[in-house]
Amino acid sequence: MWRLFVYIILLHLLPCQSIAQKVIAITIDGSINPATAGYIHRAIQHAEKQKATSLLIHLNTPGGLLKSTRVIVGDILQSPIPVIVYVSPGGAHAGSAGVFITMAAHIAAMAPGTNIGAAHPVNSGGGSMDTIMSEKVTNDAVAFIRSIANKRGRNANWAAEAVRKSVSLSENEALENNVIDLISNNEQELLTAIDGKNVTVTTGTTALRTKNAKVELMEMGWGEKLLNVLSDPNVAYILFLLGIYGLLFELYSPGAIFPGVLGGISIILALYAMHTLPVNYAGLALIVFAIVLFVLEIKIVSHGILALGGIVSLLLGSMMLIRSEQEFAFARISWVVIISAVAVTTLFFLFIVSMGIQAQRAKPTTGLEGMIGETGQVISELNPLGTVRMHGEIWRAQSPAGIIPEGKKVKVKAIEGLTLIVEPVTDSLT
């Protein structure tokens, strides 16, 4: 009798155990970069600490950096807990780097209306790589994705074609070609469908218990969100130029403070962002050289030669700033951003900064200094001290040149304290 009672209790406890299971979920909606890699790495560690049954990654990406992709794939392959990649929601795309991540998952799923593919490495500057480099990069990526597909028992031939020829598949085609494991309309349907499946992780084979699992959403930390924004090459490029503008404006207008502070912060953030990107330092040097040429154009009469050199240097530097080797389509600076930046920079230096310098060099028109060079009339004889009328006001004056009689016109040569130093005005007619 007591055994029957124990069996009844166990039957009641089994559903509760299933309900107690937890799935950690994260969302990748954007490019694959160091921030994304750090986010996924932290999510795997968090899921392991929480003793979650699996990690669920909602994926929608156009691609990203190959270095970050390798880090993510390595973390998934070495994960002690099952990793599920779900290309969702409808309209989402697992492109470029997303193909590698999806193929590496223990369970790969797609939502209706999604697609996967186009994983061919490209020149991040928008052009094409030379033949030898292109072949090296492509072969390396093919070998990488084949090893992933073979490990997970997925279609390695299609994976290679996705890299070599940038082919893509819809969710139904992906299922038919053994690229993914299933198609699910939503998260709960997916977790129910994979319940009981056996997957192999680093600690051995484990059965998924996801049917009634509680889904806990884990969001990016503020540091990861900041790095994610800064990892955009366009943002890094704009911050770098803004930093230069701010620092130069502070140098030309000492004491303004705000431009210098803003410029310093922008430069630091830009350098931090460039640390995560494949920066070409020749391109960076060309941009700095362009700024130098613009400054020289303001100070030296070159009839536009220095300005033209600055424009060409800035344009070439912007095109070369992000290296093309071993990158997917994400790592590029938009042509719209480049052209806009070159135009704004040219206008900034040739008009705004030059006008500021001219204003600094201009003769003062107000205050005591504004009276230098002005003419007035002697009221009382200067011998050598006396008084003169200047701008309707009577001033004390001194004549180093000798006696100047009353009624004579004089010109102000200098000011000492409140005394005008004057000299007689010679009449042009005799």
Enzyme catalytic residues: 96, 136
State the Cα–Cα distance between residues 354 and 98, nearest whole angstrom: 48
Contacts (Cβ under 8 Å, ≥6 apart) of 90: 111, 112, 113, 114
Half-sphere exposure of 3 (CA within 13 A, CB side): 0
Q: CA torsion 376→380→386→390, rounded to 10°?
A: -20
The residue among 143, 154, 71, 67 whose CA lies nearest residue 109 is 154
Q: Are 82 and 201 in contact (CB under 8 A)?
A: yes
With tokens 């922008």, the residue in question is 266
Which 8-state DSSP code applies to residue 89? S
According to DSSP, the β-strands at 385-390 and 375-380 are: antiparallel
Among left, alpha and beta (phi > 0; psi -120 to 50; other), residue 91 is left
Rounded to 5°, angle at Cα 86 from 84 and 90: 170
Contacts (Cβ under 8 Å, ≥6 apart) of 102: 59, 85, 87, 94, 108, 116, 179, 180
Q: Are 84 and 101 in contact (CB under 8 A)?
A: no
State the Cα–Cα distance between residues 32 and 96, nearest whole angstrom: 10
Contacts (Cβ under 8 Å, ≥6 apart) of 368: 415
Helical ranges in 321-368 per DSSP H: 335-347, 354-361
Q: Are 111 and 185 in contact (CB under 8 A)?
A: yes
